[in-house]
Chains A and B, each alone.
Chain A
Amino acid sequence: MKVVHAPNLIRTSGLGSCVGVVIFDQWKEVAGLAHVMLPDSSLSRSETMNVAKYADTAIEALIELVVQAGGRKGMLKAKMAGGAQMFSFPSKSTDMMRIGARNVEAVRLQLNRFHIPIVAEDVGGNSGRTIEFNPKTAILSIRTVNQGMKEI
């Protein structure tokens, strides 16, 4: 979980079932990125929890960080990408294998809870993604192996 000001860019590479969530205030040119791995911190079995990994704890913490860095609560918007299902499992696919879609749903729910609109997204599918966000332009660039680059 990281926050940057323009002209710095923020990126994360090789997103599969994970979801990259960017929360930003375009006029203040500040943006934060969380790399969500699991939908819910109740899945955690560890004593010391890493809040950055779970949708339900990461979004709240990320908003806090962006606000601390100068973002204004009412002006925050979000973009997200990821949540792919890299492998299609036949019949008895466990919940863990459908984790991409569950991550996306959990991130949506949390953003909704804090009244942050999702202005663009590129989620699902079965390809890995590398994403890069520019706080100045608010453009999220997404690279996939087979479909090349796109901007949302």
Chain B
Amino acid sequence: MEHINKLSGTHIDILKEIGNIGAGNAATALSKLLNKKIEMAVPYVQIATFDEVMELIGGAEQVVACVYLRIEGDAPGNMFFVLSLAQAERFIRQMTGDETFTFDSHPSELGQSALQELGNILAGSYLSALADFTNLAFYPSVPMLTVDMIGAILQYGLLELSRVGDYAILIDTALYDERRPEDSVNGHFFLLPDPDSFASIFRALGVDLL
């Protein structure tokens, strides 16, 4: 991608800040919603080939619960809220009070729609923080929930990028539930801006892309 060579340390820092502000807001919302402490890791900006992206997220075959939104507006892109199945089950049990919920055999509609709503709220708070910070307009699609291989899901985020090159710039922020240190990182926000969106984001923040 032609943008990649033009990214300096400052640009990377700005993208990290985007992950920080967006996911920070979402983590606060999640803490309030579940009444428990949710920690957030330092955001990570990864510039990687598509194959490397799959490696970085733990292999394309890993099965996860994911809420996906397509973002239109001033800086189009894709957003994924990804949870391990175990973590998704814990959140669903807590939200619905249904302690028997699992993804294994015929997961209840109610549980699934609770998770979809959770993704909706978190993505909304992520994007509204981003909109405030950049003064850009983001119009998210209706969020879609799926439980499947992460590689198959993230492919949707790579489509626009794949028209321009073989690299993705992935803004990754991990969330974790403080009381569950045994599975240290169990949720991720991935933001995958479309190729042209980087220029819009940097311009909105008063930094040129050269």
Give the total of A residues in contact with B, Cβ under 8 Å.
29
Residue from A15, A46, A96, A126 with most neighbouring chain B CB atoms (10 Å): A46
Chain A 11-47 interface mask (CB, 8 Å, partner B; 1/0): 0011111100000000000000000011000011110
The winner among A18, A126, A145 for most chain B CB atoms within 10 A is: A145
A86 touches B162 (CB 8 A): no
Of chain B, the residue at the smallest CB distance from A15 is B152
Binary interface encoding of chain B residues 193-206 relative to chain A, with 1 for a CB under 8 A from any of its CBs, else 0: 00100000000000
Cβ contact within 8 Å between B149 and A45: no
Distance in angstroms between the alpha carbons of A99 and B78 in the assembled complex:
15
Q: Which residues of the other chain, A, contact B155 by a CB distance below 8 angstroms?
A: 14-18, 37, 86
Interface size on B, residues (CB 8 A): 32
Give which listed residue, A15, A53, A129, contacts B162 with CB less than 8 A. A53
Interface class of chain A by DSSP: loop
Q: In this assembly, does B61 line the interface, its C-beta being within 8 Å of a C-beta of chain A?
A: yes
Q: Which residues of the other chain, B, contact A86 by a CB distance below 8 angstroms?
A: 146, 148, 152-153, 155-156
Which of chain B's residues have a CB closer than 8 A to the CB of A17?
152, 155-156, 159
Q: Is the CB of B163 within 8 A of A43?
A: yes
Complex: A86 Cα to B153 Cα, angstroms: 7
Q: B163 and A45: CB pair below 8 A?
A: yes
Given contacts A37-B162, A53-B162, contact A13 B149 (CB under 8 A): yes
User: Bound complex: CA of A126 vs CA of B147, how far in Å?
Assistant: 10
> What residues of chain A have their CB less than 8 Å away from a CB belonging to chain B?
13-18, 37-38, 43-46, 50, 53, 84, 86-90, 96-97, 99, 126-130, 145
Which 7 A-B residue pairs are closest in the complex by CB-CB distance?
A: A14-B151, A128-B152, A14-B60, A16-B152, A128-B149, A87-B144, A16-B155
